[in-house]
A and B are shown apart, each in its own frame.
Chain A
Amino acid sequence: MINIKEIEKVKIKALEKKYPFSIAFFENNNLNIDGYDEYTFEEYLNHFTEEEIEEWAIDIEKIKIDFIAYMNEMLTFLGIEEEDGVNSLTIIAGNNKYGEKEEFESLTIHKGEIVSIVGPTGSGKSRLLADIEWTANGDTPTERSILINEKEPDKKWRFSSSNKLVAQLSQNMNFVMDLTVKEFIELHAKSRLIQNEEEVIQKIIDAANHLAGEQFNLDTPITSLSGGQSRALMIADTAILSTSPIVLIDEIENAGIDRKRALNLLVSEEKIVLMATHDPTLALMADKRIVIKNGGIHKVLKTQEEEKEVLVELERMDKIISGLRANLRKGERLKK
């Protein structure tokens, strides 16, 4: 932990050298430090005139408090990556929306495992996902509890914004930023304080192209990516760059990506994957599936041998369909 007394006396130049990420704080708070290298942090804060303070809505005391909070969180964040991660997630039964006890005792999901969630729309999937995100402790409407590594989780998972338990891949993969693929990944890497940016960027684009039907490169604007390419990029990015150990997927659509590879990529990055789906192929790819009814977990089913055979059949059909699709694209006649 650093404190304001130490930091105040340090020159801006030295701050930048010792803690490169401190620069983002100045940038994002519109604090121009150009030409103030030789000032100490305190001298820098004191150089503003009354007028500037009012004009730009600067609150010196708040900046000091925020800066220390920011620095300490970033330092902890950098440290955390060396810590032991999340190895398992346990859901302990609560109630459904009629107040009846859920029909399972507890379910533990380990790193590298995939669990699918099935059930009608509006049956309570969002609530389950929210319970996990919030690391519920009997204090949500379902009264479920969540354990991490079989222990009551640290409260940091609830409130820390730099250290989230859950990454969520939704069906919507729109981009609102106007950037190239490279700039986009770079921005994300910067926000995660990644050291070996170039290497990570290359890894993500390779993985994304491995999933996508059509290839794209680093100079492609993200807004011109096709639906499949966007999904591929997002899955690769989440697998490789997101620090969240649990990934919630809201139905990966069939269009344009290799879904089996996508799941394998997420699992190979040692994440716990929970996937809401209506698609039998995806549901059977999971090791287990949670059936939701009336806002509660109705059943937990282990994927059976017979179902695995159904999966083989489904995959064979998928292959036929994607073959036909490829031929259609090439402008060929379709044969029986």
Chain B
Amino acid sequence: MAIRVSSTVPGGADVVADIERRSGERVSACYQCGRCTSTCTGAFAFDYPPHRIMRMLQLGQVDEVLNSRTAQICYDCMTCSTRCPMNIDVANVIEHAKMIADERGIEGDEKEIRLFRLAFLKNVRRHGRLHEARLLTWINFRSFRPFNDLSLVPLILRRKKIHIVPPRIKNRQEVHRIFREINGGDK
């Protein structure tokens, strides 16, 4: 089936413009050399390699990008960004696609990965840094497996890998501010 390019996808161009504005990257600068894909460490697990994501955004195939496995599971190793001859931070573009997907409540197929990412961010925002005990508990409950890996808890506690009491850091407000800025003031 022929793809529908931006002008025919309702709101497609707007989302791409939104990604460009928020990420500060020029999606239109990509000329599809594929260097991002050549050494992409996650491409084996992606449905679309990074250069395809860039192309799809150029054509305004926003739904496909926001629902893609790539946008859900890319782990920001940034190899693509270091290699891009056009100085596009490709990982940043994908990260913003990920954020917009979250804002739209798109869950995708990789529910646990999304759950972890959202839990992680929420955790860091609340505590200023990661509070592992709370993160693990939260994930276990949210994924309906409250007893998952429970047998490891005594061991981790004994080795002081995680702490029951939340960490205290200075200037937690600064971390909140960073989150606010990245989310454009909302939330």
A and B associate in one complex: no
